Amino acid sequence: MGINNRTFGFILDIFECIIQRCFGYTTEDARQLYYSVQSELRKDDIHRVVLIAHSQGAIIASLVVDRLLASESTTDLKKLELYTFASAANHMHGAEDLFCIEHFVNKWDYIAQTSILSYQPVKLAGSNRYDGKMYIDNDEVGHSLSTHYLPSMFAEGGAGAGSFMAKYLGGKEPKVEAEVEKRAQRWLHHIPTLNSMSDGDEEKVSPDHRHREEAASRSQK
C-alpha cells in the first residue's frame, strides 16, 4: 500500500514541511497513514507491518509513530518495522517499542544535512530524541530515492548492506528467519551433550562401571 503525499509546488511543500515538523500539524495523508497502519497492526493474522518513508514522508511517519505509541499495545507495536531514506524529520521515537527502526542517509544530501544529520548524531533528549540505527553513505550526494539511494545503498559493500532491511533482498523473510534461528538456539541450549559432563562426574561413573566388569569376570570363572 502506498500513501501519496501530493505536491503543491516547491514553495508550498517547504512551508508544509515546516508546519508539520515544527508544530506537529497532521495533514490528511498523515491521518490516512495512521489509520491504515493502526488497522493492520490490530489484525491477529498480521505479524509484520513494514513502513518505508522518504524525505517529507519521514516527517509524516514520525507523527504517525508518535500517535501509535500512545494508542497501541506493546504487542502490536512489535509488529512494526520503520525504514526511512533522506529523513526530513526532526525526531523519531519508538526504539523500545517497535521491532526495528533504521535510517539511510547520503552524507552530502542537503535535505538530510538540515534534518536527520543535524539531530540524530547529538542524541538530543526529550521530544527531539532520534531513535534508530543510521547508515550513512559518505560518497553519494543526491536526494532522489530511486536515483541516489536504492542503487548504491544496498549494493555489495554499500553503507546499508549490513542493515536489517538489506535482508529482504532476494525476497527473503528476515523476521521469520530471525525467529526460527532464535527458537533453534533455545532448543539447542537445552540439549545435554557429552561435553557437559565434568571430569568429576566421569570419575564417579568409571569406578562403578569397572566394578561391574570385575564382578562379571569373577562369576564367569
- pLDDT score for 171: 84
Alpha-carbon gap, residue 93 to 101, rounded angstroms? 9
177-188: pLDDT as tens digits: 666 566 566 666
> What nine digits make up the cell of 135?
547508515
Model pTM? 0.76
What are the tens digits of pLDDT across the range 44-57?
999 999 999 999 99
**Residue keyed to cell 500512545:** 70
Q: Which three cell numbers stand for residue 51?
A: 513502513
127 falls in which pLDDT band (50, 70, 90)? low
- Nearest CA among 102, 91, 47 for reference residue 69: 91
- Contact 131/113 with Cβ under 8 angstroms? no
Given this model, what pLDDT does residue 197 score?
45
Categorize the per-residue pLDDT at 202 as very low, low, confident or very high, splitting at 50, 70 and 90. Answer: very low
94-98, 102-106, 174-178, 199-203, range with the lowest pLDDT = 199-203
Q: What is the pLDDT of residue 61?
A: 96
